[in-house]
Structure 1
Amino acid sequence: MALYYNILIFVITVLSINLVSSAEFVPVYMWGTTKLSERVPALHKISQDSFKDTLLEYLKEDPYIIVFVEPTLSPEDFAQHDQNGEIAFPNLHGLKKLRSHVAYKPYVQNPVKAVKQLNKEVTELSIGSLLSSSNVPKDNILIIDLNDAKDDEPRFHMLKRHDSDIVSIYKDILEQRNNVLAIYTANHTSWIAPEDITHSRSRSLLQLEDSEEKKDTGIRFSSAHLLLYLSDKGSYKVNKDTSNITIDNSFMLSETSDMDNKENITATLSGSSLSINFAIKVNNVSGYWYLTSMSVKTDKENQLVGISDYFAPRDFSYHCSTFNLSTVDRNATLSLPGFQIQPFPKNNTFGDAYDCVGFTSVPIWSGLFVTIILLLIVTFGLTMMMDIKTMDRFDDPKGKTITITASE
């Protein structure tokens, strides 16, 4: 009997986990030619069945339903602004000027599944195929997939481009049909998305973390097992000759080691008059990789070797904003701004950065030092105050005079 009880508990637990994992809430932005319900629901989140009942009410007017589906979307996307203070959806926010009735629901469970359960004929198209063809399907429900993100396109720009396409398509359909209901939603939330979606939307290069709106002017080099990045043009300067060799896009990164070797990499970043040799060793036991040596050669046979303690965990990249190396006599200097390097990268993208500036930097040590001194002073002062002894004897005018001896 106990065995059946344990099996029942296990089945209930698994079903509960599946129900929780499948419940994903995304925003829904609705507008149409007929008046939409703008009542605020009693619950903060709307279930799939409740949203389906809402759509069934709209179907009484027999509208043509068009659904624009993003791969990921969250309420925060509607509130973000760029550096100029502009929002990502200016056209959607201006739909009321087209005499369209608008309703917004921030958290709806699986709205796309609810639409497909309306017992209506459904046609699914991509945004690219619909824009290339002017023919609109005659089915009752049209679902448009907006998964057309371009390479290196910031998410804000992608949403702004979709905003323009959505309103343009809506206007075209409005000219052909009298009653239209449009829905803008997503399959997943962009804040709690699956791992593969989060990875495809991430920006691993450090130069894009400050602001996605800035144009990346860096230089990226890659070979079979190595990635190298510079935020700006590098330079190699020899003081005596006052010559300065610029490291730019004309350089090529090539590996000179065994391509099947998973522990050691020897690569060369070469240009017309300068070559930089890298030697990297991966320690699978400790889980770290090390930049063991680095040398510079020019036409005049000048060499620069100055590598020590440059390492990072496996699957991490090493980054340093001001990476400068000099010879012992300070005659030659190699400058690589925004230097970032990683061996054996996954999917040809940088992993998380292991920065050359440690966690306990000079400002942090200064703050800790001042705080410790302040604590010592306060502790010393409190100790001195606690050692102060107050009078515990007082003269009585009607009694005997207090006599204090020398020992007291």
Structure 2
Amino acid sequence: MKMAEWSPRCLMAFIAFLFSFFSSGSFTAQVPVILWSSEGLPALAPPAAGHIVSTDQLTAYLTSAFGSDPRTVLLFLQDKLSKDDFTVFGGVFGNKQDSAFKNLEAALQSASSSVTLPALEWSGISAIPALLQEELGVSPLLVDADTLSHLSINSSANNLLLFNLPYCTSAHKSCKEVLHDNDEIIGNVLTIMKAKEVPYTAVYTGSQPSRVITETSMSNQPAGRALLQAVAPEVKPPIMFNETGGPCIMLWAQNLNISLSSTGAWIDLGADTPTLTGSLCNNSNSMLVLNYATGYVLSFTMAQRFFPVSGRNWFTLDSVQLQVNGVTASFSGRRGIYAPVEYSFHCQSVSSFGDALLVQNSTSANASTWRLNFVDFQIQGFSLANGTNFSYASDCAGFFTAGIWMGLLTSLLMLLIFVYGLHMIMQLNTMDRFDDPKGPSISVPQSE
């Protein structure tokens, strides 16, 4: 049976179960790839259980699939994706209504043909976008559903439209909710393409695996008892810009989240490795420019100044700029992002909304709803003495936090009540004379 004849439910089950039969031994990281088309794809026999499709095999298939005719390719690139996501959140074991991939299943059912590769050898975050760019001969255009509805597509030329989808990196949403939102985005994009009557080929995959499982042969395990050891999680290195004299700018963040609309999905740029073209530093100014393969450009501009009141130099993060497809949004950081020049600056959350440390400057209407949210953010633009580590951190959290203020105000209120009660007790006086019922009554003379 060919892949084009499989039902969507069978495809999801195929992804979920195929690699449960892997033989023991170490294997490389892998991501699933799902392709479907409104025009038709060459038939591809399902790979044998345990087979990992190489990049060369995928390249050969895409060459035969695309041919010489112009193609419009929709690349739905999720930050992370593994076959286990379909197993856990695809609803293949129970009620189909509980699936987080309803629109994807409907798209596979209505497509003229589809191909599923449960395990593609993962060779890098930008491997698949670069492969499609080489096959089509065009650069990827980063869009979203709102932009696509107003975009004019020339079907007589090759087009590569890139849709970035987040993964469950935030504590505010579960993985299933994030995958369900991504599935809704896929459904909206396909609806727009159908309304435009533009034939397309869609690709759904991940920039990197969400789960990497390494299996080892039982023969390599030592016999007998062994103590359990806690494995420390891998910590990514900071971003470091070097000049001729050595490192001069360092930045680290758990997440560099951006959103291109007030209600849009968050995209974590911290998961990718940027280039630093355009960065510079000197004794008075520093600028760190992060250029990502997906088309985003994030810039941090810093300066150091002497303040006579404190008698020392301080550095400030003057602005943060986000550029996408030629549109730029600028955010001012002078509200509270500063530290002594010998220190680094650290803050658990640096955002442009809520209790914002970044204030958006006047910008174009297209970028007015862009948002930034940097989690566990630390930066230093000057005085990198040791060259490999941050200097002492000046934290953004003040001494008097909300909890401390609430405790102080409550204690003050209770103290006032106690003082008022003590004052009232001290004002009590006894009477000089008392009326004795057995003796003569007290007479009060009355004047006529």
Q: TM-score range by the shorter chain?
A: 0.3 to 0.5
Tell me which structure has the larger Cα radius of gyration. Answer: 1
Q: TM-score, normalised by structure 2?
A: 0.38
Calculate the TM-score normalised by the size of structure 1: 0.41
